[in-house]
Structure 1
Amino acid sequence: MNRDFQLSGRSPVIAINGMAATSHPLATLAAVDILRDGGTAADAAVAAVAALCVVEPANTGIGGDCYTLISKPGKPVWGYNGSGRSGANASYQPLRDQGVREIGDSVHSVTVPGAIDAWEQTLKAHGRFGFDRVLRAAIQYAESGFPVAQRVALDWQRHVGKLAACRGAAKHYLFNGMAPKEGDVIRFPALAETLKTIALKGAKGFYEGAVGAEMAATVAARGSFLKDEDFANHRGNTVVPISTEYRGVDLIEIPPNGQGLTALVMLNILENFDLKSLDPMGPERFHLVLEAARIGYAVRDTHLSDADHMRTPVAALTDKAWGKKLASLIDMNKRSELPAALTPGSNTVYISVVDRDRNAVSLINSLYSGFGAGICTERSGVLLTNRGACFTLAPDHPNTFGPAKRPMHTIIPALAMKNGRCEMSFGVMGGHYQPMGHVQILLNMLEYGMDVQQAIDCPRLFWENDRVAVETSIPQRTMDGLRARGHNIVLRDLPWGGAQTVKIDWDRGVLIGGSEPRNDGCALGY
């Protein structure tokens, strides 16, 4: 689609040697500096995510989790699951005995943070530099200060009450009891020292020693099952990615406990419809995608868990024939009632980087909710994830809270491959919205010919409970058409998700980047 230069918007970024796209300009610059210094896409991605853990503290942190997908020409895609686990002694029964029916925002939502291990393993497997080099920008921002960006300031303000409830969080992340304003210069001296420890000692300096002991003591004091050894023993693992083919393109995702299979199920449903004939901004297109998503997410909520606890194989859930049966549940004229269980026979940062050798890194890092659990260590300044809120306390479910277990996880990096080569590294931040975001971006490009920036800019919608929350840019006629089909339409205060994309044009030898206008960031190449 040709861009109308009389309308607001921005062009894709085009470069030759390397490119990064992140949700904050300082993080994008940190990545490009690494690429220009001879680092790989993996080095640049870790540098960017570390910077984001400083400059976007509501969305991510070193106390969170991380997933990575890396494509190298001629090599199988490498995946790493950097999500943490519950304590070895965790059990749902004591909580149910107390009358608790969901983990919610309790201390039991804190799981061992997996990000630092994932960064280290990514560098060891695919990098040229060590922590001492790639953490340099993050340490500088934390120690010398950084200016607060516009969207960062908005997100910070929304969580003042949460931060004020924890002495450590209030100490490090509030200033005279308030959130900083756009343009304020902020420093995190304690976090800087913790990052220096990681730069010197590696992941061991985070999970063991004073930092690891403080994380364990901080949550133990609140009644957590987590102990020192749960932090010291943490290890992520390499994984074989999962995929499905849609219109000649393979969508690559991290396997469970990640929710990437949700996007694959959705695409397997949608390939049975002629989307190209539908208006990309019309009610028919959005109704169809909403219905496919409702089915895909129902599959997720029924089956998805830690891989060691999955009861139905991923291959069965992503089977094309089953996808066709699921497609038959959709009525193009109305919102359908779905079966209770479908069985076959938020807040995150995302980084996309491609280097001169066309190594592509798709990496996502998250605290889950804004500022995670709102629990922060007092000396080391580490905000802890609340990813365990994604566990269920239902006694007979694969995702039930239990010992040394990973919860169902929302963060999902993605790659689009064609004929064995990486066509695009991309991801969409936004908690549970992410599979919907992956599908919408792919449809925008493959069915409607949008470029990477147009595909990101396009209006979005998703549901919250029984309501479909739409962005204000959705046309009125589309909202009316969705209401006529039985959808309860409401306008959303905040936009849905945050995407970053780098596309590889192999024929012309260029990289084409797009970045989310709903955040502060940018794509930048050289």
Structure 2
Amino acid sequence: MRTPRENPAALPPMRPLRAAAPQLAGDDAAGGGIAIAAPHPAGVAAAQAVVADGGGVVDAALAAAAALTVAYPHQCSVGGDLVALFRSADGTVRAVLSAGAAAQALDVEALRSGVSGSTRPATGPPGEWPRMPPGGPLTVTVPGVVAGWAALAGLGGRLPPHRVLAPAVALARDGVPVCDGLARATRARLDVVKADPGLSALLIGASGEPLPAGAALRQPALAATLESVAADWRSFYTGEVARRLVEGLRKLGSPLRASDFAGHRAEVCEPLRGEAGAMTWWAAPPPSQGASLLAVLTSAGGLLTAARAAESRRDALLGDPRTGTVDLDGLMLRADRAVDDLPQGPKPAGDTVAVTAVAADGSAVTLIQSVFQSFGSGLLEPSTGVVLHNRGSAFSLVPGHPGEARPGARPPHTLCPAIGTSQGDVVALGCQGGRAQPWILAQVAGDVAEARDLTTLLARPRWVIGARDLGVDVPSLVLEPGVHDAGVLRATALDLGLAVAEFPALHDDAGHVQAARLTREGLAAASDPRADGAAWVM
């Protein structure tokens, strides 16, 4: 590993920020009954439709989430995972973890030996152990999105599933314009798209070129899948949809079987909680990295120093408490723990969508769903239209690691939604940003309840830390132009052993934050200008 140094030229070229899509009218406005933000206008339009049909805050969030699986197949899918928080009007907060497990027949030793697609055979200290393959059938775990939708609906939904999913079904059947982000993602992963028959049939035109922005994206097989889910969500795990998915995965070389799908259950549980100034924050427990967010928010030291410590702890300590011991005190920075230099997973580019919604009665939803990398595993099962995630690539192959790949284990998860409250104020936050989500949200969380203009807050320059997740070889701090206290951050980074570089402008890798809130001034919502998103107060 090279010695960290301040050298912007050491970073590879980074994608310039696209121009933000126009916000829907009502963004960051007060009034109405529900405030919602999502990274694509189709999500907000779907939420508007179900609210007009009598839906509440949960229905609005679910309608938006379903629509995004159609409009944003590079970022989320019913073939991905979901983590969410729900706050009821009486103040009770619950977490929904619907992260799918690895196959019971997973051959971990074959992965370690390098014969099943891992990057190199196992030798030497932890940093030299093999990594999971970045994509392909061995990285597909049981998709949790659909079970997560059902669990969230059970906590506060008003409408039957067929009415909540109707906008998404119509989008898939009738078509939605290819957005700039999808067109760019297709070009960026063109080799992967062309290598998979399902993705190439969807995204490559008759000319052999990728569909351009504005072209109609029609997905009849996905429409049929969504209709089956709307009629009975269990069909995704035990019915005809499950049978087709399992058969398609088997042909591709996946060890997942019908029993793995049938055994999936969303977990509804107590969230983690922390106090930061006047705010109380809730986050999802492991295997989510919610503990890392709370560690940063509640730290008494500087934000960057806390983020670096939380990052190291997460990489060494995060795993699935169902299949091993997870040191929650260590993750929360409440106990000293030695951490190893462990291998990191693939860069989760374009991995995630967040939907945030708050109602006038104080109920709130923050929901994140993901395929991990752009187009996940790089596989679309043609008979169902389902893009399959690569969440399994986040497993460790180091023996004894809490996130070690094991049959039936859930991988460590980047998804990190948050809800905050203070003296009657309610805030829902979520973002795209992969492994950087805790420090992206932490830079917004301190001001989100009091900021007069949420859009201006979300546009404020930010910084991120990471390595391979930012496309760089060494641990680095990367700043957007105009970051507050840039000089102090640079000095602190060098003291922490981080290289320092800059993005050329506001940048996707600094996250797409979605925010909705209820304060004494009323309801408000905003979508990060780094995204294609929209916000609305209904």
TM over 0.5: yes
Equivalent residue of 1:262, what SS?
A: helix
TM-score normalised per structure 2: 0.83
RMSD value over aligned CA atoms?
A: 2.6
Identity %: 28
Task: Pick one of 95, 98, 112 that aligns with 2:111.
Answer: 95
**Larger displacement relative to structure 2 (456-465 or 292-301):** 456-465
Query: Could you report, residue by residue, the CA deviation over 1:262-319 in whole angstroms, capped at 9, with x for unpaired residues?
Result: 11111232xx24xxxxxxxxxxxxxx43322111011111211112245344256436
Residues 475 and 235 (structure 1), Cα distance of their counterparts in 2 relative to 1, 3 Å cut: closer
Task: Pick one of 361, 383, 391 that aligns with 2:387.
Answer: 383
Equivalent residue of 1:376, what SS?
A: strand
Q: Aligned partner of 1:482: which letter?
A: R
Match of 1:77? 93
Match of 2:438? 435
Query: Could you report, residue by residue, the CA deviation over 1:207-242 in whole angstroms, capped at 9, with x for unpaired residues?
Result: 223321222222222332211211122111111100
User: What are the equivalent positions in structure 2 for 1:124-523 lying under 5 Å apart?
Assistant: 124-176=154-206, 177-200=208-231, 202-269=232-299, 272-273=300-301, 288-315=302-329, 317-318=331-332, 322=335, 340=340, 346=348, 347-419=351-423, 421=424, 423-445=426-448, 451-465=453-467, 466-468=474-476, 470=478, 472-474=480-482, 478=486, 482=490, 486=494, 487-492=498-503, 494-495=507-508, 496-505=510-519, 507-508=520-521, 510-523=522-535
Residues 413 and 124 (structure 1), Cα distance of their counterparts in 2 relative to 1, 3 Å cut: same
Q: Is the 8 A contact 1:160 1:174 kept in 2?
A: no
Find out whether 1:32 has 2:32 as its counterpart.
Answer: no
**Larger displacement relative to structure 2 (222-231 or 114-123):** 222-231
Shift of 1:70: 0.8
Q: Is the 8 A contact 2:43 2:65 kept in 1?
A: yes
Q: Aligned partner of 2:54: which letter?
A: G
Match of 2:145? 115
Q: Is the 8 A contact 2:493 2:500 kept in 1?
A: no
**Larger displacement relative to structure 2 (367-376 or 71-80):** 71-80
**Larger displacement relative to structure 2 (301-310 or 255-264):** 301-310
Equivalent residue of 1:79, what SS?
A: strand
Shift of 1:445: 4.0
Shift of 1:155: 2.6
Q: Aligned partner of 1:455: which letter?
A: L
Q: Aligned partner of 1:305: which letter?
A: G
Equivalent residue of 2:214, what SS?
A: coil
Gaps of 5+ in 2: 1-21, 116-120, 123-129, 343-347, 468-473
Q: Aligned partner of 1:474: which letter?
A: G
Equivalent residue of 1:353, what SS?
A: strand
Q: Is the 8 A contact 1:59 1:348 kept in 2?
A: yes
Equivalent residue of 2:357, what SS?
A: strand
Q: Is the 8 A contact 1:444 1:450 kept in 2?
A: no
TM-score normalised per structure 1: 0.85
Residues 384 and 187 (structure 1), Cα distance of their counterparts in 2 relative to 1, 3 Å cut: same
Query: Could you report, residue by residue, the CA deviation over 1:467-500 in whole angstroms, capped at 9, with x for unpaired residues?
Result: 5363553369936961695242334474221111
Query: Could you report, residue by residue, the CA deviation over 1:5-33 in whole angstroms, capped at 9, with x for unpaired residues?
Result: xxxx9872322311210001111111122
Q: Aligned partner of 1:519: which letter?
A: A
Shift of 1:417: 1.8
Gaps of 5+ in 1: 1-8, 274-287, 327-337
Distance 2:177 2:111 in 1: 43
Query: Could you report, residue by residue, the CA deviation over 1:440-470 in whole angstroms, capped at 9, with x for unpaired residues?
Result: 1113447x95742232111122234225363
Q: Is the 8 A contact 2:88 2:156 kept in 1?
A: no
User: What are the equivalent positions in structure 2 for 1:3-14 lying under 5 Å apart?
Assistant: 12-14=28-30
Query: Could you report, residue by residue, the CA deviation over 1:388-425 in whole angstroms, capped at 9, with x for unpaired residues?
Result: 11100111111110111100001121100225x56201
